[in-house]
Structure formats: C-alpha cells, structure tokens
Structure 1
Amino acid sequence: MSQTPVVELCGIDTLFAGRHVHRDLNLRVEAGQIVGLLGGSGSGKTTLLREMLGLLHPNAGSVRLFGFDLNHADPLKQRAVRRRLGMLFQQGALFSALSVFDNIAFPLRELKCLDEDWIRRLVHLKLAMVELETAHGKLMPAELSGGMIKRVALARALALEPELLLLDEPTSGLDPDRSQNFVDLVGALQKELGLTVVMVTHDLNTLAGLATHVAVLADQHIIAFGPKDEVMTVDHPFVTGFFGADRRKLL
C-alpha cells in the first residue's frame, strides 16, 4: 500500500466573481518532496497555497493534508492538521507592532500549553536555526533588512515544528547573494528536519537550488508535474517561455 501523500488536491474548482481560476485541478505531493509551483501571473498559484493552508475553500473538490480533508474534518481535527504545517508569506507578513521575539512566539503562545520559560527557549532555538542571534529578538520589523525579515518569517513558520512548509515567492525582493543564502538555508533545514515543501516561485535559481519536483499551473489546472528535467521537456507555451534558453540552470 502506498504511503498517504502529504498534500492531495482532487478535482479542485475555484471561482472568483463567476470566473474559474482552477478547474478540475489535481496535485499529489509525497513526503520529503520539494515542489516548485510555477504559473503565469493571475494563474492562481498563491490561491492554491491559501487553499492548502485552509484560508480559502475551493468551490468544489477536496484538499487533503496528511490524509485529512480540510473542508470536512471537525474543527478540532482541522486545528490539529494545521499545526503540522507552516507558511512563509511573500512579504513575510510579520506583525509590525510586535518584536521579532514576539512574532516567533505568537504561534507558541496560541497553543496555551507552554509557559514563558519554554517559549523563550524555543524562540531562541528557532532564531539559531535561521542563523540569527538572540539579540535580534529585541528588534522590531521596521528595523530589519529584507533578508532578515525572510529569516524571521521562516523562524515563525517553523515555530510549531511543522512537517509541511508552504513558501510564497521565498526569495522575492532579495539581491542575488541574499537570495542564494536563503535558498541554502531552506535547503539545509529541509534536510535536517525532513520537511515536505511546496513553494511558489518564478526564480530559476531558487527552483534549481531547492526543487526536487516541478508543478506547472496553466489553463486552470496542473498541466505537468514531475522531476525538473522531465517537466522542462513538456510541449506547452508557458513551459517553453518560462525555461527558454535558461534550461541549463536546472540541469
């Protein structure tokens, strides 16, 4: 019997103002895979991440995480499933009125089962995991560079020790050096923690440095899914236009 997939989307239909964004979309992500989700502007990539997170519900179809249907599980089961995933939003989405420490502590405090001493230890551990110092916990988001915002947001996403990590344009807005450093960090953490990762990205270097598999969202559904070298050969205008002459970067 095959292992239960970490993410399984079946027959997803999503409509906004009567217009289909997704139509009969299917995707299966196995444990340990790092899936790069590609698609044109407005194709519904971030919407799909939000449906995996449970922030949005499709008009039809099922979103299963770890075998549980998010749309039909009871509230307690939904909360338990969501604790098994972490989300890094494109701009970090840090709470501007909270310090770095309190941003990372926020999901831990929401559990309402840890005392402040344990929360302090865990926050310092998460800071170290993303290569930040304890002293950085005192800073406010407005005092952080773009690269530090990404690292703090990643630390918060990892606060509850998730099995599934969702990344929305993880290197957007970073210069090439910081982008590569962040890719290296995520790759090292994925190996260390055994994470399954689904990331939206349009950056070839990020895709080359992290992804084990590529899913292409076009024409309202996943038109191709598989290892990078296989997907690059798919005869579709988006695939051809996206990879173009830069296919060698992924080999």
Structure 2
Amino acid sequence: MSAPVIDIRGLVTRFGSHLVHDGLDLSIPAGEVMALVGGSGSGKTTLLRQVIGLMRPQRGDIRVLGQPLFSGDLQADRVLRQRFGMLFQQGALFSALNVLENIAFPLRELRWLDRETIHDLVMIKLAMVELEPRHAWLMPAELSGGMVKRVALARALALEPELLLLDEPTAGLDPDRSAAFVSLIRRLRDQLGLSVVLVTHDIDTLSALATRVAVLGDRRILAEGTLDHVMKQDHPFIRSFFGAARHAGSAY
C-alpha cells in the first residue's frame, strides 16, 4: 500500500496555556478529497497551517507525501513544499502585484525558468481556472471575490503539485459562484489526479466535493470516514453540525 499523502501522529498544539490538539492522529489516503470540519476554536485551520509548515507543533510527527515535514534538512524541506499548493481563505494575493505576477511568484522562486516560459505557464494556469489572458494585467483590487479565488487557485497550482490544500474555499461567495468554484476544483482534481484537503464549514461544499470527512473536536479527531459514516456518529457537535441536513431530508 502506498504511503498516505498526510500522516499525523501524536500531534500536540498549545498556545500558552490553551491546548488546541492533544495527541491528534489523522491519516489521509492518496487520491481522496478530505474535508476537515469542526467548531470555532477546534484547531482545523491551525492543523492546516501545520501541514504546510507555517507552524510547528509542540509534539508529534507530520509526514507529507511520505516525507517528514520538519526534517531539519533545508533543501529537502524546500523540495517537499514544492509538491503541494495552498489556497488561503481570502486568497492572500500580493496587493502590489498584478494577476500575472501573483501567479508567477512561485515559478520565479525556482530561479531557473526564463521570463517567456514563466509567462506561458501563467497563461496556461489562467486558462485552467477559466480566466482569460486579459485578466493577467488586473490588480487584485480590480477583481471580484470569485476571481480572487480563481487567481489564488492558479497560483496554488503553479508548480503542478500533487497535493492541494484549501482553507474555506467558498467563503464569501454567493451560492452560484460557490457552486461554480466547487465544480472547477472537482474538475481540476480529476484532470490532474490531485489529493485534496480542505477546511470548510459549508455543508453544500463538503457534500459536493469531499470523499471523506474528519471532524475535529475535544482536541482530537472525533470521527473520520465517508460522510454517511460520520453523520451516524453519536456526538453532540456532529449531531448539531449535520442535524439541519438530516432534518431537511437532503442527500447529504
């Protein structure tokens, strides 16, 4: 069996006296779309930041794509980080750079691609997220919320990652734009063979995109598995979070 794309063992996270994760374990198989859900303060975004190396836990082991995330080898860590892409909740575009420059940023960091190649690759990424070449010259302040998400997604895919991480990918979008963005992510995941991990509080996004769900609560993973399996678990937060969908008789 191949190694999971993310394997977390004994994770402990603390902010001062506040314990966020206490011995958290989670294994995410390759090829899945794993949704992380949980109440406010459950540590789901913190967990995502730890998986991409922005935060280091107090204790525990994180392996991404079969490699230790904090190996101590700077070159190995750099190469590993090039194998995954991150879409932040608000896009996190550089406000002083136009769309082309934002998407080109990780490509330029490689320091071995010429300007013409970078330009061509950016145009390919724009087309992948269903934006036009003319959009390359817009500044972030000139973009709609949906376009910001698409540009940020193009940047996350710039280095052709194997793993894509999404923090609240549909936050701030109206229902139609949210559905269109979910459809785009699903299509790209199928075309590119991506493994995907997303944090979301939106049940529509979760049900349309996720193949598996992990529920964070009580400083650990409360339940993990298919959506149907997770919804059957008897825990107050799980009953509350999925209760509206159950009572509405939806297909979630």
TM-score (norm. length: structure 2) = 0.98
Query: Over residues 79-113 of structure 1, what are the superposed CA-to-partner deviations in whole Å (9 max), with x where a residue is unaligned?
Result: 11100000000000000000000000000000001
Aligned to 2:15: 16
Aligned residues, how many?
250
**Residue 95 of structure 2 corresponds to which residue in structure 1?**
96
In structure 2, distance between residues paired with 1:27 and 1:200: 14
Aligned counterpart, 2:222: 223
3-state SS in 1 of match to 2:27 = strand
Paired position in structure 1 for 2:117: 118
- Equivalent position SS for 1:56: coil
- Contact map agreement 1:205 1:249 (CA 8 A) in 2: no
Q: For the Cα contact (< 8 Å) 1:215–1:225, is it kept in 2?
A: yes
2:193 is matched with 194
* TM-aligned CA deviation for residue 72 of structure 1: 2.3
- Aligned equivalents of 1:211 and 1:249: distance in 2? 16
**What is the identity, as a one-letter code, of the residue corresponding to 2:119?**
R
Offset of residue 19 of structure 1: 1.4
- State the one-letter code of the partner of 1:62: D
Moved over 3 A (4+): 247-251
1:250 Cα offset (Å): 4.6
TM-score (norm. length: structure 1): 0.98
Distance (Å, rounded) in 1 between the aligned partners of 2:125 and 2:30: 23
Question: Quick check: 1:229–1:250 contact (8 Å CA) kept in 2?
Answer: no
Q: Separation in 1 of the partners of 2:214 and 2:8? A: 13
1:44-193 aligned within 5 A: 44-193=43-192
- Report the 3-state secondary structure (helix = DSSP H, G, I; strand = E; otherwise coil) of the residue aligned with 2:3: coil
CA RMSD of aligned residues (A): 0.8
Distance in structure 2 (CA, Å) of the matches to 1:16 and 1:250:
39
Q: Identical aligned pairs, as a percentage?
A: 60
Q: Using the alignment, how far apart are the partners of 1:230 and 1:249 within structure 2?
A: 16
Counterpart secondary structure, 1:119? helix
User: Which moves more between the two structures, 229-238 or 240-249?
Assistant: 240-249
SS at match of 2:51: helix
Equivalent pair of 1:13/1:25 in contact (CA under 8 Å)? yes
Q: Counterpart in 2 of 1:209?
A: 208
Structure 1 residues 250 and 82: CA distance shift in structure 2, 3 A: farther
CA distance in 2, matches of 1:37, 1:217: 7
1:70 to partner: Cα distance:
1.2
Partner of 1:3: 2
- Distance in 2 (alpha carbons) for counterparts of 1:84 and 1:250: 35
